[in-house]
Amino acid sequence: SFDANAVPQAPEDPLFGLMAAFRRDTDPNKVDLGIGAYRDDNAKPWVLPVVKKADEKLRNDPNLNHEYLPIAGLADFTSASQKLVLGGDSPAIKEKRVTSLQTISGTGAVHLGALFLAKFYKPNSNRTAYFSDPTWPNHFQIFNNVGIPQKTYPYFSKQTKGLDFDGYIKSLESADEGSIIVIHACAHNPTGVDPTQEQWKKIAEVIRAKKHFPFFDTAYQGFASGDLARDGWAIRYFVEQGFELCIAQSYAKNFGLYGERAGCFHFITSPSTDAQSVVSRVASQLAILQRSEISNPPAYGARIASIVLNDAELFAEWEANLRTMSGRIIEMRKVLRAKLEEAGTPGTWNHITDQIGMFSFTGLTEQQVLKLREDSHVYMTKNGRISMAGLNTHNVDYFAKAVDQAVR
């Protein structure tokens, strides 16, 4: 019989635990660099102006109701999501080689993809999923839940605080054929380190040679460089090369729709005469999985994103909002680096501006991170990752001085 008394205590989620500790701290100078959520220059959450407009439009729509969405979600949203991630004139869309389902944000998309692969992806080898070392920790939990064995590929070089490209490639080469390779499309979390276009080409070459299956996780499109096409380049390149692949897409960061859970899962099959039939069979199975997991996705966030994505004027305004967010983060990188270098803080700090996206992997040790928390009320994850969005013109000087103290 079930003995609930035998259920062991699980550890608290480190990131959400950190947030709770920050909230308890009463120091007026406290700095939150933990969670990956955009903050404005006053450390406040920012509702994108374009989202406010779409929200108003939505609320004033006399036809708005609260009926269920279809199992695959809002069709206007999923088709606009395809165009966003693949490019409007993608041959994969024209040739109907893509099927897409709206999901519970990026997490739900990763989960749906993992579940689908667990059930249907059966290469001859033992089908291991490879993650970058380090990666978003939830990747492990999600793939673990569906019983897919896991390994990592080298990614971050402690020496250069950049990409360990050789290690990455060697690992892809030595992995069993047909492995699932989970890839951050841009603005890698937690390191802020992305491959160059030349490096992406080599990665694609090895993945092709080893018949691996690429699984893209795109949670920061437009947020990294401020340019949607540039941030989508790697995925579009792989699709151009004819890969069969899947994509987990999140609108949490680039629309600031964190809690609304708007996301999309895409499966793209290679060009072939029966591509459409493959896609329709895959779609039918995904629908069954979705139905058993969530029945149908939540409407609100997807409706907001859909209004923006399907209106040229609002879309352009969204792009401007994206530039506001990415621009402020890039500016903070410059200021932080300059302050550390001016102070002669031991170590090199070029990686602060070399890295992109929401996070920076500072290279601070766990001991230094804890010292920063105790002495200066600065909160970041133990691996030394900081959310750049937590820095602003009012606290960047304080933070740089705190780092200087912790490092000496």
Residues that bind ligand PMP (CB under 6 A): 36, 105-107, 136, 184, 189, 217, 219, 250, 252, 258, 263
Q: How many CB atoms lie within 10 A of CB 87?
A: 19
Please state the closest distance from residue 94 (CB atom) to ligand PMP, in A. Answer: 28
Instruction: Please tell me which residue in 32, 53, 136, 161 is annotated as part of the active site.
Output: 136
The Cα 103–Cα 90 span in angstroms is 22
In terms of residues, how long is the chain?
Answer: 408
- Structural contact between residues 359 and 166, judged by C-beta atoms closer than 8 angstroms: no
Q: Name the residue whose CB lies closest to ligand PMP.
A: 106
- Structural contact between residues 87 and 229, judged by C-beta atoms closer than 8 angstroms: yes
Q: Is 136 a catalytic site residue?
A: yes
265 phi-psi bin (left φ>0, alpha ψ -120 to 50, beta other):
beta
Please state the closest distance from residue 206 (CB atom) to ligand PMP, in A. Answer: 22
Instruction: Please tell me which residue in 53, 253, 318, 349 is annotated as part of the active site.
Output: 253
Instruction: Please tell me which residue in 32, 164, 194, 217 is annotated as part of the active site.
Output: 217
Please state the closest distance from residue 213 (CB atom) to ligand PMP, in A. Answer: 18
**252 phi, psi to nearest 5 deg:** -60, -50
Please state the closest distance from residue 303 (CB atom) to ligand PMP, in A. Answer: 17
Nearer to ligand PMP among residue 224 and residue 407 (C-beta): 224
What string of DSSP letters covers 316-370? HHHHHHHHHHHHHHHHHHHHHHHHHHHTT-SS--HHHHHS-SSEEE----HHHHH
Whose tokens are 């070029």? That residue is 350
Please state the closest distance from residue 302 (CB atom) to ligand PMP, in A. Answer: 12
Nearer to ligand PMP among residue 250 and residue 269 (C-beta): 250
List the beta bridge partners of residue 103: 263
Q: Is 217 a catalytic site residue?
A: yes
Pair of tokens at residue 7: 């259920």
Nearer to ligand PMP among residue 257 and residue 396 (C-beta): 257
- Structural contact between residues 193 and 220, judged by C-beta atoms closer than 8 angstroms: no
Nearer to ligand PMP among residue 15 and residue 169 (C-beta): 15
Nearer to ligand PMP among residue 254 and residue 376 (C-beta): 254
Please state the closest distance from residue 257 (CB atom) to ligand PMP, in A. Answer: 9
- Structural contact between residues 305 and 324, judged by C-beta atoms closer than 8 angstroms: no
Closest-CA residue to 246 (of 220, 275, 224, 266): 266
Nearer to ligand PMP among residue 111 and residue 373 (C-beta): 111
Q: How many CB atoms lie within 10 A of CB 213?
A: 19
The Cα 118–Cα 340 span in angstroms is 47
Active site residues: 136, 217, 253
